[in-house]
Amino acid sequence: MLDYDTLAVFLALNVGAYLIVHLPYIYKSLRRTSEEPGNKSLRDSYSTIKGTIITSIIVLTTLYFFVIFLIWPFYQLLIGSEFFQRWVFPFPYSNTFQLIGIGSVIVATAVNNLGRIARGGSYISDGIPVELSKDLGHKLVRHPLYASYCYYFVGFQFIFQSYLTLPLLLGIIGYYSAAKKEEELLEEEFGEEYREYQKKVGMFLPFLGKR
């Protein structure tokens, strides 16, 4: 098994890459006014999934993920802890599984950052964008941000092989449900252009989920 300090360094590097890309867009989004581009007329349509159990699942699993992703590596390196080791699955650790998990996290960070750069500071909850994004992360999958979190959720299962990460798998259900709803809105807004895009690019995986 890879020791926890090594895993902490690896995750800390991914945290750094994630924050370098995301913090400028978070800052811009906080300064954004309601007059900035975005089809606000569809905000009410999007809100049909807000306040539902799906939203709760997304929020809770994502917050839990960020506790592990953003906080645990630095806690481990500064203080040290055997917390995860107390909750591992009752079978021998697999280095092969850990390497698969590491690969999944690397892909997740890359896809997430490419997706954020492609979308800029805009979020679909602000309204459908004026122009359909097909660049960078959107060339790989139709929902790069949602897909990347699912990659993280799966990767953490392989890395930690712990009961503590199992709740993250619920987030896959949440993000998939949200993506399906958003696809309805995007198809409503962009029509044939979006349907052609669906034929060329997979939903959450590059080669799967084409329509």
What pLDDT score was predicted for residue 34?
A: 47
Task: For CA atoms 203, 206, 208, 211, give the dihedral sign.
Answer: positive
Residue 158 belongs to a domain: yes
- Tell me which amino acid residue 2 is: L
Tell me what pLDDT residue 22 has: 92
Cβ pair 142, 183 in contact under 8 A: yes
- Tell me the pLDDT of the chain (211 aa) as tens digits: 678 899 999 999 999 999 999 998 887 777 664 445 545 444 455 554 555 788 899 999 999 999 999 999 999 999 887 777 778 888 777 889 999 999 999 999 999 999 999 877 666 555 666 778 888 888 999 999 999 999 999 999 999 999 999 999 999 999 999 999 889 888 888 889 999 999 999 999 987 766 6
Q: Please list, residue by residue across 117-131, b when 16 or more beta carbons sit within 10 angstroms of its beta carbon and e when fewer do.
A: ebbebbebebbbbee
User: Does residue 205 form part of some domain?
Assistant: no
Q: CA 68, 137, 186, 169: dihedral to nearest 10 degrees?
A: -30
Residue 101 structural domain: 4-25+42-200
Question: Contact at 8 Å (CB) between 95 and 2?
Answer: yes
The answer as to whether 106 is a domain residue is yes
CA separation for the pair 80, 92 (Å, rounded): 22
Domain for residue 37, yes or no? no
pLDDT of residue 18: 96
Residue 148 domain flag: yes
pLDDT at 129: 67
Judge whether 106 and 11 are in contact, CB under 8 Å. Answer: no
Confirm whether 76 is domain-assigned. Answer: yes
Taking the CA atoms of residue 52, residue 57, residue 59 and residue 64 in that order, the dihedral angle to the nearest 10 degrees is 160
Q: What sign for the dihedral angle of Cα 193, 198, 201, 205?
A: positive
**Is 30 a member of any domain?**
no
What domain count does the chain have? Answer: 1
Task: Answer yes or no: is 97 within a domain.
Answer: yes
pLDDT of residue 119: 79
Residue 127, pLDDT score: 60
Place of tokens 């055997």: 82
